[in-house]
Structure 1
Amino acid sequence: MGLEIESRASGSPFVARVWRSRSARDDRMTSVANASWDLVFWERHGRVRAAVHGPESVVSPAPVPTDATFFGINFALGTSMPHLAADRLVDGHVEIPGVTRRSFWLKGSAWHLPGYEDAEAFVERLVREEILVRDPVVAAVARGEPAGLSERTVQRRFVAVTGLTQGAARQIARARRAAVLLREGVPAGEVVHRLGYFDQPHLARSLSRYIGRTAGELGAGEPPEPLSLLYKTGDGPDVSLLGTSTRKAVHHA
């Protein structure tokens, strides 16, 4: 493949995953659905750019340009930038102005470009400046904990913070987890049982909508056109569950 991807977990409650990648040639990948959002920086032919990429509600193709490097922070469900309307970010992006090799412009101030190793320190600064906030109710729901509020209130806050309904986020997370299990060799029937699908046709529809692969294709190994990064985070109920990749940044490189 023309894209090499590296990622790591984070100890920050605001961050789900930190990742970076490099492309060696023109290629294409399948960008799977993802309930969380990313802050992405990329460089190609000497030009540095940055954007906030929102959640992806369905699977979609993504071209991979040659000779580009990417770095991104995938944020935990419940984390948001209040000055950016969440519902307008779903299946979209907002490009950040004033980006150079050393700095970029965000909410009226210049910021030094973060890196793969110091992403958490950068996030802490965003939190201190109240550019980045975390909704405790949405974060609790994402962990499968009771919110102590009415279902209607929880749903309203969930949509306001994430741009997605709670049900949509859960469906995306379940499909991503199903894809990981199938790639590990777990039979489709067992995946149906573990994750609460009605039957194998229900699983197949979910995979088609959110992953872009059949159960057989996932079980057979890496296809000719690779998927964006999937990783296992455990067996808990976290609706964010599985992480990110270069995603739509490749469209604008």
Structure 2
Amino acid sequence: MELVIESRPSQLPYVERVWRSRSAEAGRMMSVATAHWELVVWEQRGRVQAAVLGPEAAASWAPVPADAVFFGISFALGTSMPHIPVSRLVGGNAVIPDVTRRSLWLKGSAWHVPGYDNAEAFVLRMVREGIVDLDPVVPAVLGGAGAGVSARTLQRRFVAATGLPQGAVRQIHRARQAAVLLQEGIPAQEVVHRQGYFDQPHLARSLKRYVGRTATELAAPDTPEPLSLLYKTAPLGPA
């Protein structure tokens, strides 16, 4: 099954990545675990739909419709929509009603449907109108800085902002980074060393849970079902 995916990073602190994709025929893909929530808009045969997709704590199969075009904004860790708690969206989604090619509804107001080239302007309006918020403690801690709050408060704020505990966020990030390295041809033993796994069985269990592929499959990725978006990011700071 052919699924073409294009993506770009963003300089906006609220946005992790902007992406778009196109499918030719129906099939399925392996949806890799992700700690990020997303706003996704897609069109198939003239029908436009949109949804907020929550974080995914494990890899899973996902259907891909035929002849569909997708666009998505992946939000940075720590960013949330207070009126749709991300903790309720883990492994699920919230459908956005009354979507057309020109408009969608967010929190009772009509918005122009965003696109690949104006995603940041759309998000900045969300920020101005209080639809999106950012807890600065989350990116600071993930970057290696001190939290300035108690461990219990940090965990509570982490779950409120990301839907996941800090440990789960770090494990997902490490597995995704390992998968990218394996796709680049880095030997599994070297990936174990770089990513801090105990040994190759530890790496194998992590890949199975969070990526849905073995190291061998990632090193030779010509498989019938594609993976969802994977990309290299900066390493997280120490826990």
- Partner in structure 2 of residue 248 of structure 1: none
- Partner in structure 1 of residue 152 of structure 2: 152
Identity of aligned residues (%): 69
Give distance in 2, aligned partners of 1:188 and 1:160: 35
- Partner in structure 2 of residue 39 of structure 1: 39
Q: Are 1:78 and 1:138, in contact at CA under 8 Å, matched by a contact in 2?
A: yes
**Aligned amino acid, residue 99 of structure 1:** V
Q: Are 2:103 and 2:112, in contact at CA under 8 Å, matched by a contact in 1?
A: yes
Q: Secondary structure in 2 aligned to 1:231?
A: coil
**Aligned amino acid, residue 179 of structure 1:** A
User: 1:2: Cα distance to partner?
Assistant: 2.4
Q: Are 1:7 and 1:18, in contact at CA under 8 Å, matched by a contact in 2?
A: yes
- Partner in structure 2 of residue 51 of structure 1: 51
Q: Secondary structure in 2 aligned to 1:42?
A: strand
- Partner in structure 2 of residue 242 of structure 1: none
**Aligned amino acid, residue 136 of structure 1:** P
User: 1:205: Cα distance to partner?
Assistant: 0.5
- Partner in structure 2 of residue 237 of structure 1: 236
Matched, 1:208 2:212: no
Give distance in 2, aligned partners of 1:40 and 1:229: 13
Give distance in 2, aligned partners of 1:186 and 1:121: 38
User: 1:238: Cα distance to partner?
Assistant: 6.3
- Partner in structure 1 of residue 68 of structure 2: 68
**Aligned amino acid, residue 87 of structure 1:** S
- Partner in structure 1 of residue 181 of structure 2: 181
Q: Secondary structure in 1 aligned to 2:168?
A: helix
User: 1:222: Cα distance to partner?
Assistant: 3.3
**Aligned amino acid, residue 92 of structure 1:** G
Q: Are 2:177 and 2:233, in contact at CA under 8 Å, matched by a contact in 1?
A: no
Q: Secondary structure in 2 aligned to 1:198?
A: coil
User: 1:4: Cα distance to partner?
Assistant: 1.0
- Partner in structure 1 of residue 99 of structure 2: 99
Q: Are 2:20 and 2:70, in contact at CA under 8 Å, matched by a contact in 1?
A: yes
- Aligned CA-pair RMSD: 1.3
- Partner in structure 2 of residue 11 of structure 1: 11
- List alignment gaps of at least 5 residues for structure 2: none
Q: Are 2:3 and 2:226, in contact at CA under 8 Å, matched by a contact in 1?
A: no
1:89-111 deviation line (CA, Å, top 9, x unaligned): 00000000121111111111111
Q: Single out whichever of 1-10 and 206-215 deviates more from structure 2.
A: 1-10
- Partner in structure 2 of residue 250 of structure 1: none
TM-score by structure 2 length? 0.96
- Partner in structure 1 of residue 125 of structure 2: 125
Q: Secondary structure in 2 aligned to 1:164?
A: coil
Q: Are 1:2 and 1:64, in contact at CA under 8 Å, matched by a contact in 2?
A: no
User: 1:39: Cα distance to partner?
Assistant: 0.2
- Partner in structure 2 of residue 134 of structure 1: 134
1:188-237 deviation line (CA, Å, top 9, x unaligned): 11111111111111111000000011111111233222111211123x21
1:103-151 deviation line (CA, Å, top 9, x unaligned): 1111111111111100000000000001000001112123232222222
Aligned residues: 238
Give distance in 2, aligned partners of 1:11 and 1:64: 30
Q: Secondary structure in 1 aligned to 2:154?
A: helix
Give distance in 1, aligned partners of 2:179 and 2:237: 16
